Amino acid sequence: MIPAVRMKKPQPHGVQWIFFDLGSTLIDETEADLRRIREMLAGTDVTEEAYCRKRLELIRLGLPGDRAAIACFGLTKTPWHSEEEKPYPDAAPTLAELKRRGYKLGVIANQPPGTIRRLTRWELLPYFDVVAASAELGMAKPDPAIFQWALAQANCRAQHAAMVGDRLDNDIAPANRLGMRSVRLLRGLGAHHSPRSAEERPEYTVRTLTELLNLF
């Protein structure tokens, strides 16, 4: 596991906007993930333990965990239940403090339709000035176009923006390519990935959202 970076003093680096991923960053997907696994395994002889063990093994080999595990066991992917998702306890307090410090906040996320509705239900929408969601825009990470769209909406140059996310491929690498500051959050399955290139190496790594307050 990569150690988290803890800084004693804020280092804003000229950042004006901070963009966030949603799943496994601001939003806890644990229950939705478990429900889908149980639905996929229903009627098979594959145990939940075996599936999760194989998925983690494949992730550590640099493969797409669920897709590879589903193929390995010959399973059929079942629908994702967004209603089982919920914000992490440190999400709203951290967003509120960043807003209080004067930062503009945004979302750049691969999401099914209805992101605004879900953000409203989670009581997080008031914190965000820009929401770039893949289903509504017809573009998805790691395509730089979705990042560029968000930056254009924010009227912000890449060097004055930061991206916070759990995925090296979808969050960190695209942000680095564009010249954004990159912060990796060690949460969820993404925490088990290792950088495969210099572009996938984050500028900072944190274990909780609260630790962002040491950076910005």
Q: What is the pLDDT of residues 98-116, one digit of tens each?
A: 999 999 999 999 999 999 9
Q: What is the pLDDT of residues 38-76, one digit of tens each?
A: 999 999 999 999 999 999 999 988 888 899 999 999 999
Q: Are residues 63 and 50 in the same domain?
A: yes
pLDDT surpassing 70 at residue 12:
no
Q: What is the pLDDT of residues 87-100, one digit of tens each?
A: 999 999 999 999 99
Q: Are residues 77 and 139 in the same domain?
A: no
pLDDT at 7: 39
* Residue 137 located in a structural domain: yes
* Residue 145 located in a structural domain: yes
Distance CA 150, CA 147 (A): 5
* Residue 6 located in a structural domain: no
- Phi, psi of 45, rounded to the nearest 5 degrees: -100, 15
Q: Are residues 210 and 104 in the same domain?
A: yes
* Residue 52 located in a structural domain: yes
CATH of the domain at 143: 3.40.50.1000
* Residue 3 located in a structural domain: no
**Can the peptide bond before residue 79 be classed as cis, meaning omega within 30 degrees of 0?**
no
* Residue 12 located in a structural domain: no
- Per the structure, the count of domains in the chain is 2
- Give the count of beta carbons closer than 10 Å to the beta carbon of residue 185: 28
pLDDT surpassing 60 at residue 5:
no
Q: Are residues 35 and 122 in the same domain?
A: no
Q: Mapping DSSP to helix (H, G, I), strand (E, B) and coil, where does residue 19 land?
A: strand
Start-to-end Cα distance in the chain: 24
pLDDT surpassing 70 at residue 80:
yes
Q: Are residues 143 and 42 in the same domain?
A: no
Q: Are residues 156 and 89 in the same domain?
A: yes
Cβ-contact 182, 204 below 8 angstroms: yes
Higher-scoring residue by pLDDT: 7, 78: 78
**Can the peptide bond before residue 64 be classed as cis, meaning omega within 30 degrees of 0?**
no
**Confidence band for 8, pLDDT divided at 50, 70 and 90:** very low
Average pLDDT, the chain: 93
Q: How far is CA 132 from CA 20, 87, 117, 214, in A?
A: 10, 18, 13, 26
Q: What is the pLDDT of residues 138-197, one digit of tens each?
A: 999 999 999 999 999 999 999 999 999 999 999 999 999 999 999 999 999 989 989 989
Q: Are residues 23 and 61 in the same domain?
A: no
Q: Are residues 42 and 119 in the same domain?
A: no
Question: What average pLDDT does the segment 2-21 reach?
Answer: 66
Looking at this protein, which amino acid is placed at residue 194? S
Q: Are residues 22 and 60 in the same domain?
A: no
Q: Are residues 42 and 124 in the same domain?
A: no
Cβ-contact 68, 186 below 8 angstroms: no
| Structural domain for 145, as ranges | 17-28+85-214
Q: Are residues 37 and 22 in the same domain?
A: no
Beta strands, E only, 70-195: 86-87, 104-109, 130-133, 161-165, 181-185
